[in-house]
């Protein structure tokens, strides 16, 4: 693909499902006012991102928007009364695309919802995900920024997980929302044990955009991380004809984080070294339609009065990435201030 070697989209979250992963941003974001959410989207655009993907439009079964209490639940109260509307308004203004996550692991309200997705699957998962998808299309589908829906279930291509995608997409989502574009970001193809099954599995997914996680953030050893990225890339190249035949657009999800163990032994997302990130981009950009990342917010954002978040080193990764953009001749980031806008 003749693509610029840069990141043009990122995930973000209004509230992260995992308090430990998001230690350095989710608590602050809970209390943000509207202008901070607008500033986050504006800053993403300023660094060259034209696409934002919301990981989930609800937390623990409570949506981030109102008006659908009978079908998806009572909205979660936050510092901003309507945070998702604020993000969508800013994306509209900037001409960005926004993908809306339909929910992570069902409601994420029970331990079994956040486990390995083993069957039997309760119909309430699919019923609630479908109600969420219908509500999102109803509320945001006519907006200029509406790019589609994000399928929040993250699979690793185990047999039953592919079955879950096929059932959710074929029996629930497609009949409900029709041809609305649906994006998914499952695990690395390079780590699939039974690669001989991948062609048939990829045909069964039923999604429009595939953005496999490159697993670059799964090791703090740079060489090992890049080897994992190369395995995913080789699998994408091998199975590209199947994806093309199925009409699936191919993106890649570049992990810009490393892991740090907290005091209680849970992993925390921190910024990766720029040398690893730029190599991940260089390897993958020529092979895909788009490079997105997990994620700008909290991991590689610039720190301002309004966007007052970020793991230690986030500002440095932002600065290093801006320097990289200059080196490759990409447009300089916009200078619209998050402090005064």
Question: Hey, what are 136's tokens?
Answer: 């999102």
pLDDT over 60 at 322, yes or no? yes
| Domain hosting residue 245, numbered range | 9-327
pLDDT band at residue 254 under the 50/70/90 scheme: very high
Cβ 154 vs Cβ 192: under 8 Å = no
- The residues pairing with 260 across neighbouring beta strands, listed in sequence order, are 268
pLDDT at 333: 74
Q: Say how far apart CA 190 and CA 233 lie, in whole Å.
A: 7
Residue 155 lies in a domain: yes
Residue 293 lies in a domain: yes
- Read off the CATH number of the domain in which 62 is found: 3.20.20.80
Contacts of residue 51, defined as CB under 8 A and 6 or more positions apart, other chains included, come to: 8, 9, 10, 96, 97, 98, 99, 147, 290, 292
Query: Which own/partner contact pairs does 262-265 have at CB distance under 8 Å and 24+ positions apart?
Result: 262/20, 262/23
- The residues pairing with 148 across neighbouring beta strands, listed in sequence order, are 99
DSSP letter assigned to residue 195: G
Residue 23 lies in a domain: yes
pLDDT band at residue 111 under the 50/70/90 scheme: very low
Q: Say how far apart CA 14 and CA 59 lie, in whole Å.
A: 9
Residue 90 lies in a domain: yes
Contacts of residue 122, defined as CB under 8 A and 6 or more positions apart, other chains included, come to: 106
Residue 309 lies in a domain: yes
Residue 339 lies in a domain: no
pLDDT band at residue 2 under the 50/70/90 scheme: low
Condensed to tens digits (0 to 9), the pLDDT of residues 39-86 reads 999 999 999 999 999 999 998 889 999 999 999 999 999 999 999 999
Cβ 131 vs Cβ 71: under 8 Å = yes
pLDDT over 90 at 24, yes or no? yes
| Number of domains present in the structure of the chain | 1
DSSP letters for 271-304: EPPHHHHHHHHHHHGGGSSEEEEE-STTTTPPP-
Residue 229 lies in a domain: yes
| Percent of the chain scoring above 90 in pLDDT | 79
Condensed to tens digits (0 to 9), the pLDDT of residues 166-203 reads 999 999 999 999 999 999 999 999 988 777 888 999 99
Q: How many other CB atoms are there within 10 angstroms of residue 264's CB atom?
A: 6
Peptide bond just before 23 cis, omega within 30 deg? no
339 versus 145: the higher-pLDDT residue is: 145
Residue 4 lies in a domain: no
């Amino acid at each position: 693909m003749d693509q610029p070697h840069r990141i043009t989209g990122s995930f973000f979250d209004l509230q992260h499902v995992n308090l430990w992963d998001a230690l350095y941003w989710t608590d602050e974001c809970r209390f943000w006012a509207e202008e901070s959410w607008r500033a986050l989207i504006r800053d993403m655009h300023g660094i060259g991102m034209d696409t934002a993907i919301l990981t989930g439009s609800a937390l623990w079964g409570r949506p981030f928007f109102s008006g659908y209490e009978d079908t998806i639940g009572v909205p979660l109260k936050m510092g901003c009364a309507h945070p998702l509307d604020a993000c969508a308004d800013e994306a509209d203004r900037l001409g960005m695309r926004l993908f809306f996550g339909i929910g992570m692991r069902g409601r994420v309200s029970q331990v079994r919802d956040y486990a390995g997705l083993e069957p039997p699957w309760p119909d309430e998962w699919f019923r609630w995900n479908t109600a969420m998808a219908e509500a999102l299309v109803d509320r945001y589908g006519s907006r200029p920024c509406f790019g589609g829906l994000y399928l929040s279930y993250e699979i690793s291509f185990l047999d039953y997980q592919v079955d879950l995608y096929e059932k959710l997409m074929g029996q629930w989502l497609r009949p409900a929302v029709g041809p609305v574009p649906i994006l998914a970001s499952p695990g690395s193809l390079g780590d699939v044990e039974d690669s001989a099954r991948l062609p048939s599995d990829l045909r069964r997914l039923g999604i429009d955009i595939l953005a496999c996680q490159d697993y670059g953030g799964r090791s703090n050893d740079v060489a090992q991380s890049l080897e994992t990225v190369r395995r995913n890339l080789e699998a994408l190249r091998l199975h590209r004809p199947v994806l093309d035949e199925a009409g699936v657009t191919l993106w890649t999800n570049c992990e810009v984080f490393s892991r740090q163990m907290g005091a209680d032994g849970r992993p925390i997302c921190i910024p990766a070294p720029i040398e690893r990130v730029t190599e991940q981009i260089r390897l993958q950009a020529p092979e895909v339609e788009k490079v997105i990342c997990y994620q700008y917010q909290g991991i590689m954002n610039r720190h301002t009065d309004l966007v007052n978040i970020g793991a230690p080193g986030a500002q440095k990764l932002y600065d290093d990435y801006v320097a990289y953009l200059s080196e490759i001749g990409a447009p300089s980031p916009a200078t619209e201030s998050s402090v005064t806008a």
